[in-house]
Amino acid sequence: MHHSMLSWRVTCICLTFWCVVFVFLFFMLKAEQMLNESIHPICLSNRTNCAFQDNQKFKIIGMQRLENKSLFQKFKIYETQVATEVPLLKPLKRPQAIHPWLEKLSKKNDLSVAANTQYLLHGTSLDNLDSIGRLGLRLCHAHSSGMYGQGIYFTDSSCKATQYGDGTPTGQPGSTGCIIICRVVLGNVYELRKGALGARSTPNGHHSFMARAGFAHPNPNTYPQLHTEYILFDDCACYPEFALTFDLVEE
């Protein structure tokens, strides 16, 4: 009897282990598919300054869920505050081009519709990952030269995400980088028509900037924005959740 119970427990533990492994690998597969389907077609054609060549794709080599209770609590407090303000502000702009898998993940993880919270992408170097896991994405590291303000930048295009931060891939085969899937409270979005160099906040009644592809112009002498970008000016407005380590490989 004792031996039968022990065997049953061992079987249950093994099944649980393999179920966890399966879910993890399935998530990685879907995340890799999302990254490759989120590359802008023009970037794939090698007609921009993007790092990508037309024969390259993302290959995820590692994944980590970042868990920080203190950061998450601050994020939820901010999100709740924004959710109470947004109904008073019209019109409410929601992102149009977020990948369907990220939208499904948003619903599964119950992201706040009232606060206009979305899953968006932020690229960084592997050297920064430990600090981001402990302290989050912070405005004190924002570049003053940002075309749309001295804020924290996000995008729905994986190729654009690789341009954020130092040490991201150069386009050479075997280049390794990191893209973080973040919860981002967009709230009431202020849509930019031109650059906002030096900006440190949004106009009253707004919680984020959006530089929409094909609409915003960084400056009058340049082509319109190629990728849509979102900019925040509050550390608590984002929570880094999934870190995807990848190589750029030839197809």
**Peptide bond before residue 91 is cis, with ω within 30 degrees of 0:** yes
Residue 244, pLDDT score? 95
Burial (CB count <10 Å: 0-12, 13-18, 19+), residue 4: exposed
CA distances from 1 to 4, 6, 10, 177, 225 (A): 5, 9, 14, 53, 70
Residue 146, pLDDT score? 82
DSSP 83-99: HHHGGGSSPPP--S---
Tell me the sheet residues that pair with 57. Answer: 249
| Domain-located, residue 4 | no
Length of the chain as a residue count:
251
| Domain-located, residue 229 | yes
Token couple for 147: 């075309």
Q: Edge to edge, what strands does the sheet with 189-191 contain?
A: 56-65, 238-250, 176-185, 117-124, 152-155, 229-232, 208-211, 189-191
Structure pTM? 0.87
CATH number of domain containing 72:
3.90.228.10
Task: Tell which residue, 209, 204, 205, 197, has the closest CA to residue 233.
Answer: 209
Each residue's pLDDT, cut to its tens digit, for the chain (251 residues) gives: 455 655 656 566 665 655 655 577 788 899 999 999 998 877 766 655 565 666 788 999 999 999 999 999 999 999 999 999 877 655 556 676 899 999 999 999 999 999 999 999 999 988 899 999 999 999 888 877 788 889 999 999 998 998 886 545 555 555 688 999 999 999 999 999 888 888 889 999 899 999 998 888 777 777 788 889 999 999 999 999 999 999 888 77
Q: Which residues fall within 8 angstroms of residue 43, CB to CB, at 6 or more apart?
A: 50, 52, 157, 159, 226
Token couple for 150: 């001295």
CA distances from 157 to 25, 43, 68, 202, 250 (A): 23, 10, 26, 23, 19
Task: Give the C-alpha separation, 157 to 137, whole Å.
Answer: 19
Tally the domains of the chain.
1
Residue-number span of the structural domain to which 231 is assigned: 56-250
- The 8-class DSSP code of residue 166 comes to T
Tokens 């709740």 correspond to what residue?
Answer: 80
CA distances from 10 to 2, 19, 21, 22, 75 (A): 12, 14, 17, 18, 40
Q: Which residues fall within 8 angstroms of residue 117, CB to CB, at 6 or more apart?
A: 79, 106, 111, 183, 184, 185, 186
Neighbours of 215 (CB within 10 A): 13
100-108 and 2-37 helices, crossing angle to 10°: 140
Task: Give the C-alpha separation, 247 to 35, whole Å.
Answer: 12
CB hemisphere CA count around 56 (13 angstroms): 26
| Domain-located, residue 39 | no
Residue 167, pLDDT score? 46
